[in-house]
Structure formats: C-alpha cells, structure tokens
Amino acid sequence: MHREYFNGIAHKWDEMVNHDPEKLSKIFEMIDLKAGQKVLDVGTGTGVLIRHIYDRVGDEGHIDALDISEKMVEEARKKYAYTNLNFIIGDVCNITINRAAYDCIICYNVFPHFGDKKRAVYNMAQWLKKDGKLVVCHSQSREKVNEIHLSGQEFLKADLLPPAESVGKMMEEVCLTVYRLIDSDELYFVGGIK
C-alpha cells in the first residue's frame, strides 16, 4: 500500500512537501557528519537529504539512499549523479544489508511509515559500525506530522510518529546510547550511538 501510494505521487512530491533549510541545518549540526563517512539515507524519497549529506562526507565518503518506492528513487536519480552515491530499492524492515557497514543512518521524515518500527530500529542498529549513529528526525513537530497523517489517506492514519522517548527506548533496547532527544514544537530528533 505504501509503495503504491508513494509511487503514485513521486512526480509531484517536491512541490507537495516543504523542508525548512534552517531546521535542516540544525538537524545536520546535531548529526555531525564527517568527511569520508559512509551514510545510509533511509526513506530517501526524492533525495531531499542527499546534497546535505554529500556536502559533509565529500567525495571520499559514500552515500546509500534506500527507499521502498522505485518512482521516488527515479526522481532522486534525475537530480543526483554523485559517483559515491548508490540507490537501493527496498524495505528497511525486510532487506539484507551488511552488518557494521555505516557510520551514520538517517531516517528523515520516514519513521512513521515503518510497519514494524522495533524491527526497523533493530535492523538499522545491526548495520551501524561501532560508534555509528542512528538518527530519527523530522523538521516539524510530532503533533504536526501526526496531524498530516491523520488527515490523509485512510491507510496513513496508522502511520503515527511515537513520542521521542519511545523511540529512544527502542534504541536502548538494541544497545544504542541516546545522545540527543528533542520532541518540541519546532522539530523532532532522536539520536543514538552504538
């Protein structure tokens, strides 16, 4: 259902969704990516974060951009052709990725759509290198995200963003240490370190 929905709106997604540049800057300050790091962008969509990640990891870094929707990936491919960028079509809950592959995994504006959130957090924790970071973030408040989903398609009404403390607990259950937790009127950020 999610795949079909996002495939159907991929061509107009960039006009539908607004990303506050100041909030994105703040999010990336808290993530603190370094040159040369390997990053997984989960739910890359049309590639909103790709340029921001690339600007920080540079040519010596590597970006894997994962999405369940092949049409979203098509849109992202039209915009970005970095030689150190790889697109993956798949579901974070049901995909095989090498253990300890990433310095950082970012879930921006996607976490509510995971069918099994605990499974997704477990999988992503396995894919982190030692001292790697897992970040779940939104450039809007949890209330705003949930309001958007509750007013949308029927199947989206179940796609709610849990309180940041709940996501932090999921991270702790898989042996990540929560280093930042924000659940404010401005944005949502949960960061864990392996």
Contact 142, 188 (CB under 8 A): yes
pLDDT at 12: 83
Contact 60, 35 (CB under 8 A): yes
pLDDT at 98: 83
Q: What percent of the chain has pLDDT over 90?
A: 79
pLDDT at 154: 83
Q: What digits encode the pLDDT tens for the residues 89-106?
A: 999 999 988 888 999 999
In this prediction, residue 4 has a pLDDT band, given cuts at 50, 70 and 90, of: confident
Say whether pLDDT at 65 is over 80: yes
Hey, what domains does the chain have and what are their CATH numbers?
A: 2-193 (3.40.50.150)
CA distances from 143 to 152, 171, 182, 184 (A): 14, 21, 13, 9
The residues near 37 (Cβ < 8 Å, ≥ 6 apart) are 56, 57, 61, 62, 103, 104
Q: What digits encode the pLDDT tens for the residues 109-130?
A: 999 999 999 999 999 999 999 9
What is the 3 state secondary structure string of the chain? CHHHHHHHHHHHHHHHCCCCHHHHHHHHHHHCCCCCCEEEEECCCCCCCHHHHHHHHCCCCEEEEEECCHHHHHHHHHHCCCCCEEEEECCCCCCCCCCCCEEEEEEECCHHHCCCHHHHHHHHHHHEEEEEEEEEEECCCHHHHHHHHHCCCHHHHHCCCCCHHHHHHHHHHCCCEEEEEEECCCCEEEEEEC
CA distances from 38 to 4, 32, 129 (A): 29, 13, 10
Say whether pLDDT at 9 is over 80: no
